Each structure stands twice: as structure tokens, then as C-alpha cells.
Structure 1
């Protein structure tokens, strides 16, 4: 399984698209890309999960670490557009109570 990562910026919001499976093998790559944006001073980030087939605990750890860094700088991270499988993973793990989850990227952008 592989993961394709896309990055785009709208105004001052970084949108990171994760296309594929976010697991032990692919999470280091995702973490590097997210950290690059954080190092550049991003304070608003939307992580687009529309094409993310699965998220393992390694992937959840990245979401949590990103949320903590964002909180430390009074920023905001929103997970958006999860499919049913990923939505269930976020719900069962309780991540939907820690990190904002929105049904669409547009909705996430409006809430930034």
C-alpha cells in the first residue's frame, strides 16, 4: 500500500490531501510533509481524507501530534471528508472528540 500526499494553500490555510493508506509504513512520509508546513509557520490546516482508505494508530498519532502543535500556536487543524471506514476509526478511537471533523473541505475552510 502506498500514500500519495498533495499540498495546496488557499489563503493562509494549508490543505493536505492523503490519498491511499495511512499506516505504519506510510505515516513517516505524511509526518514529514505535515511538519514541513508547521515549520513554515502554518496555523490553519485541513487534512483531506476523501481518498484515504484506512488510518492506523500510527496515522492517528500524527493527527494528535499535529493538533497539539497547532494548539500550542493557537492554530487549528480540521480533518475533513472521511469515508465511512475512516469515520468509524475516528469515532471508535475518540478522535472525533479531540479534533474537529467536517464532512467537506469547503466546510472546514469556512470554519477556519
Structure 2
């Protein structure tokens, strides 16, 4: 299960995630991003309560990063050690801006 709280304030989109980002929940996150991202110039994911991310979740983050490379910046904050390890092993820590 994944709870997604997405707000867009003056071109700054904040997405707070709570749960697991896996093959079941990644399409839900992708749909929210497609619906709300629009012309945002900044996208921030708060992953304080994300304990796991699968390859499907990584794909959604990569797609979001590609979109934001064209229109602004993307940040990922409050990443737990387990998810940080996944980012490092897959090389995503070199692609994503983790703060």
C-alpha cells in the first residue's frame, strides 16, 4: 500500500509518500505525477515513510527525473538507509538529487 499526498504551490510540487513503492503501487504514483506535474519547475519527493522501492518504483522516479530535466529540478529527501542502499546499488544515487 502507498499513500500519496501531492500538492502544487506556485510551480513547486511536493509529493509525500508513505508505504512501499512496488509493482502494485508504482502505477498509482505514475498516474498522480502525470495528472499533477504539469509545468512545475520543482518536484520534491519526501520519502520519510518509504521502507521499500522496487524496480517499478525506480522506473517511475527515472521518468519523473527525465521530465524535470526539461522543466526544472527534482529532489528526493528523507530517504531511509534501506532505500538509500537500493539507490546506490542500482546507480540511481548518481542520477537522482538526494538531499
Q: TM-score, normalised by structure 2?
A: 0.93
- Secondary structure of the residue aligned to 2:48 is coil
More strand by percentage: 2
CA distance in structure 2 between the partners assigned to 1:35 and 1:80 by the alignment? 21
Q: TM-score, normalised by structure 1?
A: 0.83
Q: Which residues of structure 1 form unaligned runs of 5+?
A: 103-112
**Root-mean-square deviation (CA), in Å?**
1.2
Tell whether the 8 Å contact from 2:43 to 2:74 is kept in structure 1 after alignment: yes
Alignment of 1:9-24 (within 5 A): 9-24=8-23
Other-structure match for 2:39: 41
Other-structure match for 2:97: 100
- In the comparison of the two structures, how many residue pairs are matched? 99
Q: Which residues of structure 2 form unaligned runs of 5+?
A: none
